[in-house]
Amino acid sequence: MYNSKMTSDTDGALSTSQMPALEQEGPVRPEPLLLNLLKLAGAQKDPFTTKEILFYLGQYIINCLTTGVEGI
């Protein structure tokens, strides 16, 4: 049944101390489709850190918002 009562219960939510730092993760080799998208956003190397992948995904989204999504 649907519960429309709004609560501020945070049980089960991760605190920032429980989340791994992006800089601590090792290199990631994206699959070809994601790699293609990252290169469209300006990426020029492989492998990437998770932080770099998120950066280039953000650049791709910004580009899509400013130029339209015809290229997808």
pTM above 0.85, yes or no: no
Which residue range forms the structural domain that includes residue 56?
Answer: 32-66
Count of structural domains within the chain: 1
CB 59 within 8 A of CB 41: yes
Q: What is the pLDDT of residues 14-55, one digit of tens each?
A: 555 555 555 566 899 999 999 999 999 999 998 999 999 999
Residue 59 is encoded by which pair of tokens?
């650049």
Q: What is the pLDDT of residue 56?
A: 96
Q: CA triplet 61, 16, 29: central angle to 5 degrees?
A: 45
In a domain, 17, yes or no: no
In a domain, 10, yes or no: no
Contacts of 69 (CB under 8 A, 6+ apart): none
Of 14, 10, 12, 50, nearest to 30 (Cα)?
A: 50
